[in-house]
Chains A and B, each alone.
Chain A
Amino acid sequence: MDWSQSLRLVAPEELLSVTGLFLLLGAAWSKGRNDARAVTWLSVLALAVAALFVAPAAFSGLSGARASAFGGLYAGDAFSALAKLLIYAAAGASLLVAPAFFEKARAMRPEYPVLVLLAVAGMGLMVSTTDLLTLYVGLELNSLAAYVLAAFLKNDNRSAEAGLKYFVLGALASGILLFGMSLTYGFTGTTSFAGIAAAMHGGLSNGALFGVVFVLAGLAFKISAVPFHMWTPDVYEGAPTPVTMFFASAPKVAALALTMRVALGAFGSQVSAWQQIVIIVSLMSIIVGALGAIGQQNLKRLLAYSSINNVGFLLIGLAAATPAGASAMLVYLAIYVAMTVGGFVAVLMLKDKDGNQVEALADIAGLSRDRKVLAACFAMVMFSLAGIPPLFGFWGKFVVFQAAVAAGLLPLAVLGIAASVIGAFYYLKVVKVMYFDESSGIAVGKSDWVHQALLALAALFISPLGYLLTKCLGNLANLAAASLFHGA
């Protein structure tokens, strides 16, 4: 084992955890909002530096033995590098929008950026894992920080409730996952992904099959796929909006990337064992996500169901179980992160004239007259989430369905895309409320420049100009997918 290579490969996680600890120490002496802001900016800086660390691996398509660290516990390959870039971008955005929100609620504390940094370090481990133990350590590091984040508004009952719900259900999911992992270990005799794949190659014993099912069920909790989705709307609604934005973007990427690693890596030699599960879960997520959103009156709940719906589409790529499918999922994830950030930043920018947050759908009636640009951007996000061309959200669906069709999963593709029309209904409803209804005159408050800049960036990305990035994005995703399959 080459220590210098191992330490070099885990450099981003080292940087993030050490910075997190130092900032935590510094936070003990902080007073006032300026210190909290400084910690936030330093954390964003740390994320940017970490992104610089991983970028070379993503662009060079690093894979195989040169990407392996600590004797096969960890892989710093192109796949993990691309996933980390997305996670850092999403986390950075969640940090940047936070000060304005928490200062209004008189709850801005430097612990918020620190917790985000620690969660991101955990996610880095999750996407790089090539061993069940690394998987669990990364997942718990992320989850523990996330439970606290959900309950960050100490004086808000809804926030506390969200934290508790997230904790109880998350702990249950971890338990299920751990049970599945122990079965897998018991019946294959190893915790390393490569070893599991080799052991399963000859055939799958019933015990190992149970292991596969439980591991996937535990992971389905984390990606909030139906039927393990019920915590999502409550937690998303109750958690402070910047935290919701964080939950909907970064951990989604991490958990999905982890699911890909487990399904295509560890269980990659027994695709038929889990393909049906993924197909059913995917279709159910699409349909339940779409139907559940229709009756929602709260924008955050609506976006929660939208994220369930999107996970369904992402899983179509996983069901294909091909490098093209994995590459399509990564492209979709990149676009999904931009759409989610755009959507939640837009929700954060909805304020009444006293600067209080507005979250009800009815309150944004006629927004296109009060806040023209904001309404246009939000409408773009909605059409993009619905997958209507020429917006970039269409491209995500396109590549995923392309992979499914190429893998011969025609019925899945046809059902999935037909169900996407149900989803279009509620996205249209938001546009209808903003554009067709008479103005309610509630959401008229101004927002600060950070929000505006982030929204503009996200809107630009999901505008038709985004298609110019398809080649670059496609190349990166192909390299990443190749490294994922190379390791398997």
Chain B
Amino acid sequence: MAGFPILSLMLAVPLLGALVCLLADARTARLIALGATLIDFALGVMLWCNFDVGGAQWQFTENVPLFAGFSWKLGTDGIALLLIELSVFLMPVCIGASWKSIDKRVGEYMAAFLLMETLMIGVFTAQDLFLFYIFFEAGLIPMYLIIGIWGGADRIYASYKFFLYTLLGSVLMLIAMLWMANEAGTTDIPTLMAYDFPAGAQKWLWLAFFASFAVKMPMWPFHTWLPDAHVQAPTAGSVILAGVLLKMGGYGFIRFSLPMFPEASAYFAPLIFVLSMIAVVVTSLIALVQHDMKKLIAYSSVAHMAIVTVGLFAFNVQGLEGSMIVMLSHGLVSGALFLSVGIIYDRLHTREIDRYGGLAINMPKYALFFMLFTMASVGLPATSGFVGEFLALTGIYQLSSWVALVCGTGIILGAAYMLYLYRRVIFGDQKNADAAAMPDLDLREMLMVVPIALAVLWMGIYPESFLAPMRKDIATLDARLSHARPQGDAQLTIGKPAAAATHETPAHEGAH
């Protein structure tokens, strides 16, 4: 594999597909889009197979000095690898989800999605500061068009809000990047990750990056664009928004904020904790009273993302690993939940929870998969949600038991709103005749939900597959953060050795 530019190829395939889609008619455009995303998925599988776990930190690197001021530098480590896999895995599903429900301007729609895929992979593979920024920002254009053209009734307002909110967040980051490149004399991300910026400047830089990532993530109180964008976007738009775009914020924290500004991260960790605790409780309570299914899931996303931020700023291995798994899991699960909403929306054209009821009777297969994804969202053991949330909360418990306690309520509240949603939609009487007449999942829909369900179970039962590629990178990051790690509130002390010698019991030996 050495020397073969697989990452560039993964960027080029959807891009070419997008250009062809613009010129093609509806039927061809769908096929091209599906073909391009499947090829990219195959390339993604190849990438994972060839990834040398425990090998060099940066693999599949490419560096062509094409531009003035920055270069075409790509590469991936274990953290980015998993997020790339998530993107290429969700894309064919998104195309499938739009197969029938999008019937106007199909070519442009598919082109926008393929462009989106290129940019997402670009964000996760860019190794040059400004190349990253270009990919990061460029995603606004296709997403603006997707929400604005194919969205629901209030799409215009939502598209503006999405665009301007995220733009305002990002431009400050650009200034910070310019300052960093000027100070460090390089735009190479791996070099910058080991560069020690002066502690005073770190705080400003951290805040500038925070402005961007907090909006993208989104953290409370910068989350208000998310419910609007989600509700108005078409199903596939919501899937990609929740599944991958939100992860860019978390990826930004783990790639930039933490390794580049460790002292500032420690300094601002309490801020993150407070915002996250508020987010978990408040948005969960908001989710509880929603009548719109998509809005409910959108608010639950904010709550889950708060668990991610808490884990990231726990400054230990469990927290970081947990956050990564929550991100991956949330990408799959929230994507699947939006898909499930989309499936019944396509039949009845409403997201009003009260319009449904008793779907278990006429849609048993749907009820089964919806239950699996509900449970995964709640964090039931054996699903991916459990692994991530458990690790993230373990991580934060070592630093602050109060934060762990408050964020732990998110799991209880999560169970409350998700199960309440499930009861109202799936169980109960079939009070609406049209909802009762809806057919069960067809083959196309099965093909979309089954792979996600399998991935959710895989991640829940054998998370080692996902932890292994990033273990070394997380350890490197942990070592980088070690000198800035804040003191935990538990103040554990090791017992006196003399005491240990006198209490030599069989139980103690059993622990070995």
Chain A residues in the interface with B (C-beta under 8 A): 368, 376, 383, 388-390, 394, 398-399, 401-402, 405-406, 410, 413-414, 417-418, 420-421, 424-425, 428, 431-432, 435-436, 467-468, 470-471, 473-475
Contact = CB atoms under 8 A, between A and B. Distances in A.
A405 B69 CA distance: 14
A402 B178 contact: yes
A436 B147 CA distance: 10
B130 interface: yes
Contacts of B174: 398, 401, 417
Contacts of A425: 160, 164
- Across chains A and B, which 4 residue pairs bring their CB atoms closest together, nearest first? A474-B68, A389-B134, A470-B68, A405-B178
A389 B138 contact: yes
A418 B173 CA distance: 11
B140 A388 contact: yes
B interface secondary structure, majority: helix
A398 B140 CA distance: 18
Interface residues of B, number: 34
B182 A406 contact: yes
Contacts of A383: 141
Interface stretch (B48-56, B148-156, B308-316, B456-464): B148-156
A388 B136 CA distance: 10
Contact of B133 (A389, A405, A421, A473): A389
Contact of B163 (A394, A417, A424, A470): A424
A388 B182 CA distance: 22
Interface string B222-256: 00000000000000000000000000000000000
Contact of B175 (A376, A413, A436): A413
30 contacts: A383-B141, A388-B137, A388-B167, A390-B135, A390-B138, A401-B178, A405-B179, A405-B182, A406-B182, A413-B178, A418-B171, A420-B171, A421-B164, A424-B164, A424-B167, A425-B164, A428-B160, A432-B148, A435-B148, A436-B148, A436-B155, A436-B156, A436-B159, A468-B66, A468-B67, A470-B67, A470-B68, A471-B67, A473-B68, A475-B68
Interface of B: 22, 66-69, 108, 130, 133-135, 137-138, 140-141, 144-145, 148-149, 155-156, 159-160, 163-164, 167-168, 171-172, 174-175, 178-179, 181-182
A417 B148 contact: no
Nearest to B180: A405
A388 B143 CA distance: 13
A401 B156 CA distance: 31
A474 B69 contact: yes
Contacts of A475: 68
B456 to A, nearest CB: 34
A432 B156 contact: yes
B168 A418 contact: yes
Contact of A417 (B133, B137, B175, B179): B175
A432 B135 CA distance: 22
B83 to A, nearest CB: 20
A445 B182 CA distance: 50
B163 A428 contact: yes
A389 B145 contact: no
Contact of B134 (A394, A399, A420, A473): A394
Nearest to B171: A417
A417 B172 CA distance: 7
Contacts of A420: 171
Given A435-B149, A467-B67, A414 B138 contact: no
A55 B164 CA distance: 42
A470 B175 CA distance: 20
A13 to B, nearest CB: 31
Nearest to A373: B22
A292 B160 CA distance: 19
Contacts of A436: 148-149, 155-156, 159
Contacts of B163: 424, 428
A401 B69 CA distance: 13
Which of A383, A398, A406, A420 has the most B CB atoms < 10 Å from its CB?
A398
A377 to B, nearest CB: 13
Contacts of A388: 137-138, 140-141, 167
A394 B67 CA distance: 14
B211 to A, nearest CB: 10
Nearest to B66: A468
B213 to A, nearest CB: 17
Contacts of A431: 144
Nearest to A386: B167
Contacts of B135: 390
A383 B163 CA distance: 12
B113 to A, nearest CB: 16
B172 A399 contact: no
Contacts of B178: 398, 401-402, 405-406, 413
Contacts of B168: 418, 421
A401 to B, nearest CB: 6
A316 to B, nearest CB: 12
Nearest to A413: B175
Contacts of B67: 467-468, 470-471
A27 B221 CA distance: 68
A170 B144 CA distance: 42
B68 A421 contact: no
Nearest to B169: A421
Given A398-B130, A410-B179, 16 more contacts: A390-B134, A401-B174, A401-B178, A402-B181, A405-B182, A413-B178, A414-B172, A417-B175, A421-B167, A424-B167, A428-B144, A432-B160, A435-B145, A468-B67, A470-B67, A474-B68
A361 to B, nearest CB: 15
A401 B171 CA distance: 11
B93 to A, nearest CB: 26
B342 to A, nearest CB: 21
Which of A406, A413, A428 has the most B CB atoms < 10 Å from its CB?
A428
Nearest to B15: A464
Nearest to A389: B134
Nearest to B115: A390
